[in-house]
Structure 1
């Protein structure tokens, strides 16, 4: 598992870690029961604070992506991929609604919006 941190991103580092681990789980790169690096090792590898990795792991645990066992570490939790897909679809629908509203406000046609979407999707 490789995590890339961008110091120039407006997104907090713990969120960058959380998103990348979630993505690895959802794409199947990380399987159920796979051990994650310890918070200290991850912090050391990324040259960040242990507090930051702790916050990311706590967020992942709260979301049900991982579980922790005291003295043993953190592991990928069993995932119901269909439920996860539905949650992601809901988020996409909400974000697309915002995009459509913004597009209408500036007079962007449906064809122009589809063309823009196609370009961005294929990148």
Structure 2
């Protein structure tokens, strides 16, 4: 598992870990039952505090993406496809909110946003 931490990002380190592991799970790169590195091993690999990795794993567990078993470790949960779809929809909605906020700051109206989205969507289909 390749997790990259950015020291220049305004996002806390634990949130960067959560986001990257969440993305790997939702994209299907980490499947149900896949063991995650131990908290200590991940902390060592990333050269960060054990407390930070523990917080990240706890957040993933709260989201239902990871199950932790005392003495055995943390594993990708067996969440069903509908649950995973709901998680991915939450991510899309969050990103859309960011786009809307930025667009309003720039004075871009709804018609322009939808036209931009349509063009980008159709462009992706061609690739």
TM-score (norm 2): 0.79
Structure 1, gaps ≥5 residues long:
none
RMSD between superposed Cα atoms in Å = 2.7
The answer for the alignment partner of 1:55 in structure 2 is: 55
- Deviating more after overlay: 72-81 vs 47-56: 72-81
Partners of 2:96 and 2:87 in 1: CA distance: 14
Aligned residues: 121
CA contact (8 A) 2:26 2:88 kept: no
Change (3 A) 1:118 1:55: same
CA distances 1:11-68 after superposition (whole Å, capped 9, x unpaired): 0000000011111111111111111000000000000000000000011111111111
| 105 and 24 in structure 1: CA distance in 2 versus 1, 3 angstrom threshold | closer
TM superposition score normalised by structure 1: 0.81
Return 5+ residue gaps in structure 2 as ranges: none
Distance 1:56 1:67 in 2: 13
Quote the Cα distance in structure 2 between the aligned partners of 1:53 and 1:83: 24
Which residue is 2:39 aligned to? 39
* Partner deviation per Cα, 1:53-94 (whole Å, 9 max, x = no partner): 000001111111111111111111012222322343245335
In 2: Cα distance, 1:91 partner to 1:28 partner: 15
